[in-house]
Amino acid sequence: MTFPERAPDSEERRAAVLSHAVRQVPHYRERLGPISSHGTPRWDLVPLLTREEADAAGTRLVADGVDATSLRAVRTGGTTGRPATFLRDREDGRRELTHVRNAWQQFGVAVDDPVAVLVARPVGAEGEEHVPHSTGDLWLGGVQLSDDVLRRHHERLVAYRPALLRGYPSALALLAELMLREGRPAPAGLRATGTSSEVLLPYQREILRSAFGVPHANLYGQTEHVALAVTCPAEEGLHVDETYGYVELVDDDGHVITEAEVVGEIVGTGLGNLAAPLLRYRTGDRGRWAPGVCACGRAGPRLDRVEGRVRDVVIDAEGTSRIFGPWFYEKLAGLPGVRAFQFVQRGPGELDVDVVLAPAVAVHVTDVESAVSHLEGFATRVRRVPDVARTSVGKGPLLVTPPAAV
């Protein structure tokens, strides 16, 4: 038996997508044709696909008989470097929503229950509120999530009464902190909170549970739609949706990782978008397999956690490249009064630590300096800022590395 143990029909789904791609998609036909003359090639011979390769391939990834102009072009937010564009069929949005809504059901949220979404960017014509016709969800945001904006959002949520409140961890944590500080209640009827798009830090999860008093679900996905995993009410591990994508972990040399608790890059093969499929796509995210079977009894692969980006690399004073991970921020995460933080590399061995501090909590820059004093090989400079730098879609990455810095 291999690890992780997969659903019986998981390999069949993977094989069907591979067969389709080899026969119908120019990019894969050219790459895999020489080794597929006697049938579908072995999976381990399918090369890993990078973000840059997928972007450069463009319409060569579009299946025969599909009009490329009929597809929807989706551009990433550029969190891992330059933005890239991916093509999707017109049913992709509906398919994605179905998978995500199904994932929330284990937390008591029905498919047609009201959902509210909080993000750290403007939404709608006025910037703070929007209800898209496609989903009917209530979207809340703003240029900056000040306390006044968060108070208005809380009032909107109380009136709306969502069954699920989801959004970016950093944005939801700001709202939760305000609610706890001012004694504001959770909306009536709320069954769960959910996060996605950013790394969920342990202190953020705890503050959400304290403020809202409901189970919390963390969803892992990406713009490319090749992998989806959601936490379980029974444990913190993320169950991989095997009907959405075929998920693998690989090491730095591209070799598949089958051992539990070994960190590797998440590689996904989307099973839905056959109009422009992505096979063995390197997501740039790092994770590791969870050991054993979940306490809920469900079989199938689980990710223990998602740790960040492969491309999150910092250069120390000796000029050595080091993967940026929990070791850098674990002592800072959860420090009372720190509302948000971000590391910015300004040069080899030099890191700015930008922090957003709550005005009502007795926390000082010196406390932050102490929390990052263990970073050997780096000179740190703590800066108090009104907000961290965000991407075009409002995400606040934990590490920012200007090209000139390295």
For position 141, which CATH number holds? 3.40.50
Alpha-carbon gap, residue 377 to 355, rounded angstroms: 21
Residues 287, 290, 296, 301, CA torsion sign? positive
Section 359-366 average pLDDT: 70
For residues 214 and 109, membership in a common domain is answered with yes
For residues 214 and 138, membership in a common domain is answered with yes
Question: How much is the pTM?
Answer: 0.81
Residue 4: inside a domain, yes or no? no
Q: Read off the tokens for 140.
A: 């809340």
For residues 107 and 82, membership in a common domain is answered with no
Which of residues 145 and 185 earns the better pLDDT score? 185
Q: Read off the tokens for 319.
A: 């000029």
Percent of the residues in the chain that have a pLDDT greater than 70, as a whole number: 94
Q: Read off the tokens for 178.
A: 């305000």
For residues 256 and 111, membership in a common domain is answered with no
For residues 99 and 189, membership in a common domain is answered with yes
Q: How confident is the model at residue 361 (pLDDT cuts 50, 70, 90)?
A: low
Quick check: 283 and 266 in contact, CB under 8 A? yes
pLDDT tens string 122-148: 998 889 999 988 788 999 999 888 899
pLDDT tens string 283-303: 989 999 998 888 888 888 999
- Please state the φ and ψ torsions of residue 374, each to the nearest 5 degrees: -85, 0
Quick check: 115 and 162 in contact, CB under 8 A? yes
Residue 382: inside a domain, yes or no? yes
Give the model's pLDDT for residue 383: 92
Give the model's pLDDT for residue 37: 58
CA distances for 201 relative to 19, 79, 117, 169, 326, angstroms: 40, 18, 19, 8, 9
Alpha-carbon gap, residue 342 to 113, rounded angstroms: 35
For residues 80 and 108, membership in a common domain is answered with no
Which of residues 391 and 109 earns the better pLDDT score? 109
Decide which of 165, 194, 218 is a domain's last residue: 218
Decide which of 186, 201, 218 is a domain's last residue: 218
Residue 22: inside a domain, yes or no? yes
Q: How confident is the model at residue 36 (pLDDT cuts 50, 70, 90)?
A: low
**Is residue 236 scored above 90 in pLDDT?**
no
CATH code, 235: 3.40.50.12780
Pairing of strands 115-118, 138-140: parallel
Give the model's pLDDT for residue 310: 74
Residue 5: inside a domain, yes or no? no
Q: How confident is the model at residue 312 (pLDDT cuts 50, 70, 90)?
A: confident
For residues 113 and 203, membership in a common domain is answered with yes
Give the model's pLDDT for residue 406: 46
For residues 362 and 289, membership in a common domain is answered with no
Residue 181: which of 171, 189, 173, 190 has the closest Cα?
173
Full domain range(s) for residue 342? 313-405
CATH code, 331: 3.30.300.30
Decide which of 218, 242, 266 is a domain's last residue: 218
Q: How confident is the model at residue 356 (pLDDT cuts 50, 70, 90)?
A: confident
- Per DSSP, the three-state class of 210 is helix
Residues 212, 178, 218, 297, CA torsion sign? negative
How many domains, the chain? 3
For residues 320 and 303, membership in a common domain is answered with no
